[in-house]
Structure 1
Amino acid sequence: MKRDQLLTRRRLLIAGTGAVGAAATAGVLTPVTGDGPAESAPAAGPQTRRPPHSSAYRLQPLTGYGPPQAAPRRTLVRREPLLRVSGRGRTMVLTFDDGPDPRYTPAILDTLAEYDVRAMFFVCGEMAADNKVLLARMADEGHVVGNHTWSHPLLTRLTRRQIRSQMERTCDVIEEAYGERPEWFRAPFGAWNRAAFQLGAELGMEPLAWTVDTLDWTTPGTRFIVDRVENGAAPGVVVLSHDAGGDRSQSVRALRRYLPELLDSGYHVTVPRRV
């Protein structure tokens, strides 16, 4: 009889512990759906200035000294990517895919620095491995670097093991060059599947898509790209552009034209953050 009571009590304790763990995990992220927002960082633009030492934006590598680190948080497995961000006022996010490319990325970084604006760069591992200095600059200037796989494949044609390899190798390169592992992931071609969502979450990354596609990858002309951004501008919008993968000179010129116009129109261009 006593043995049965002890077993029953043990089962209750285990069940209680699991419930507490589930509740704690559910509270890590703000509840959102693919049509809902992720929280954005404080707005950046002409009205804000970077601290004198911009390297403060960069997280220092972990060492064997200092306070104990908190347990890794678990990331919610989503069924669709996030499409928008939330923030005070007219907040927008600019994202650049496929780089870094030494022919175009430095010019984009120069323009962002000129207007004291931060953006997101979804990098490919094979590009990042050859251009680590550019990732270090992104870190120093407060930009967010996300994972865009190693070689930009169509994930829906890969095995689960191949998808994990694409993600993990890129995470490793980003951590080495940028100073921390990525918290955001974007599937090449916007082709998501269950494995991509699950493996991204296992690696601590949230899936972020976009609201406005500039179609700059078709090289439609600078004016066309500018019009796409300005006509699609709205609170919470995530803009997709590219800084690699082809001739991106139009993307560079377009940014120089639409960025000051967005800021003059009262938009705050910033980066999202996990909550």
Structure 2
Amino acid sequence: MKIKPYAALLTAAVMPCTAVYAADSTKIGYGQGTATDEKNRPVDAVQFNSRYGDLDAFALSEDEKRIIITFDQGYENGYTAKILDTLKEKDVQAIFFLTGPYAKTESALVQRMIDEGHVLGNHGMTHASLPTLSDENAKEEIMSLHNYVMNNYGYQMQYFRCPCGEYSEKALETAQQCGYKTLFWSSAYVDWKTDQQPSPQEGLRKLTEAAHGGEILLLHSVSSTNAEILGELIDSFRAMGYTV
């Protein structure tokens, strides 16, 4: 998968959901693993692309000069505005994966994301694990949020991230049939535990040591550490030769 300039991404059409029948429904918990290849890419992420790319599901992009920063937006913890300030200062576009409650309660922040050129992604209306749902309910989980964002923000989402990191072949096919590409990640760390935040030094070290071309970086905006180190992290990525 090659992520295009974000402005071009917004013109892609999202097709109506159609029935999905044949794929395996076994639930799998995604993880990028710790083993890496000669390019510092997690082996499991490389294998994921190879196995599921035909379902428009990816853990890495094809652009080996680029790192894509993404945030999961489950609830607001007071740091998103600072994160947006930093992204604006550094001229970086990120992907923000919204849940339904976030889209409904944080309209000013969501509108700011749109106005400042970021990409909104779909993280499920209720953050339900897709493989645990019926076909009809899985489609509703995706499309009810899609339609809400379209109707209330005039914005058409096209990237989906599986809630809980749980997927099945059938779930990926369902997202594809709903017109979505599914993005996982190739780098992440434990940043979502608000009462057990890593130190800024630890967070920066872990994220820079894991850097690799084609990286899709998963961060959570509830993290005080992420809000503090984001500018320095972006500078570090660029100093390593990556486009962010």
Task: Give TM-score scaled by structure 2 length.
Answer: 0.74
| AA partner of residue 81 (structure 1) | A
Q: How far apart in 2 are the matches of 1:173 and 1:162?
A: 16
- Deviation for aligned residue 1:101: 2.2
1:204 aligns with 2:179: yes
Matches within 5 A, 1:108-187: 108-187=83-162
| AA partner of residue 182 (structure 2) | P
Q: How far apart in 1 are the matches of 2:127 and 2:221?
A: 14
| AA partner of residue 164 (structure 2) | F
The aligned length equals: 208
| Aligned residues of 2:14 and 2:180 also touching (Cα < 8 A) | no
CA distance 1:39–1:212, change in 2 (3 Å): same
CA distance 1:71–1:79, change in 2 (3 Å): closer
Task: Give TM-score scaled by structure 1 length.
Answer: 0.66
CA distance 1:186–1:126, change in 2 (3 Å): same
| AA partner of residue 231 (structure 1) | E
CA distance 1:172–1:94, change in 2 (3 Å): same
| Aligned residues of 1:58 and 1:142 also touching (Cα < 8 A) | no
Q: Which residue of 2 aligns with 1:240?
A: 218
Kindly provide the CA deviation profile for residues 235-260 of structure 1, in whole angstroms up to 9, marking residues without a partner as x.
1011111114xxx2122112132112
- Deviation for aligned residue 1:179: 2.5
Structure 1 runs (4+) greater than 3 angstroms displaced: 56-60, 70-80
3-state SS in 2 of match to 1:212 = coil
- Deviation for aligned residue 1:100: 5.9
CA distance 1:224–1:160, change in 2 (3 Å): farther
| Aligned residues of 1:91 and 1:237 also touching (Cα < 8 A) | yes
3-state SS in 1 of match to 2:167 = coil
Q: How far apart in 2 are the matches of 1:164 and 1:77?
A: 20
Q: Which residue of 2 aligns with 1:85?
A: 61
Q: Which residue of 1 aligns with 2:188?
A: 213
CA distance 1:266–1:90, change in 2 (3 Å): same
- Deviation for aligned residue 1:132: 2.0
Structure 1: which 5+ runs fail to align?
A: 1-37, 44-55, 61-69, 270-275
Q: How far apart in 1 are the matches of 2:144 and 2:240?
A: 40
Work out which of the two has the higher radius of gyration on C-alpha atoms and give 1 or 2: 1
Identical-pair percentage: 29
Q: How far apart in 2 are the matches of 1:58 and 1:210?
A: 19
Structure 2: which 5+ runs fail to align?
A: 19-51
| AA partner of residue 131 (structure 1) | E
